[in-house]
Amino acid sequence: MLGSCGVGKSALTVMFICRIFVEKYDPTVEDSYRIQVALEKDRFMLEILDAAGNEMTAMRELFLREAQGFVLVFSLTDSNSLSDIPNWISLIEGYK
């Protein structure tokens, strides 16, 4: 999960993992979640890094190198967060 600060990365992650909607904004430092998901007849272990805003950490660098997919998040109420998406794409491309 990548995106600007305050766009809802944590809320989306918690909703996906726990099926709970978190209404209160609590800035994330950095969290990692693992969940087993089923796709047709196969099961996969999905690991999600809920990265904090724009800070680059060793954990984020490792995930960027190893990840097989990314979810880019922006807020409909913050046009700057949408404008930041090309920067997130460039960051990903730098590791792939």
Lowest mean pLDDT among 27-31, 70-74, 86-90: 27-31
- Average pLDDT over the chain, rounded to whole? 87
User: What backbone phi and psi angles, to 5 degrees, belong to 74?
Assistant: -135, 165
Confidence (pLDDT) at 92: 93
Can you give the pTM of this predicted structure?
0.77
Confidence (pLDDT) at 25: 72
Per DSSP bridges, beta strands 42-51 and 72-73 are unpaired
Q: What is the CATH number of domain 2-95?
A: 3.40.50.300
Domain ranges of the chain: 2-95
38-65: pLDDT as tens digits: 989 999 998 888 877 666 677 778 888 9
Element (H, E) at 61: helix 58-66
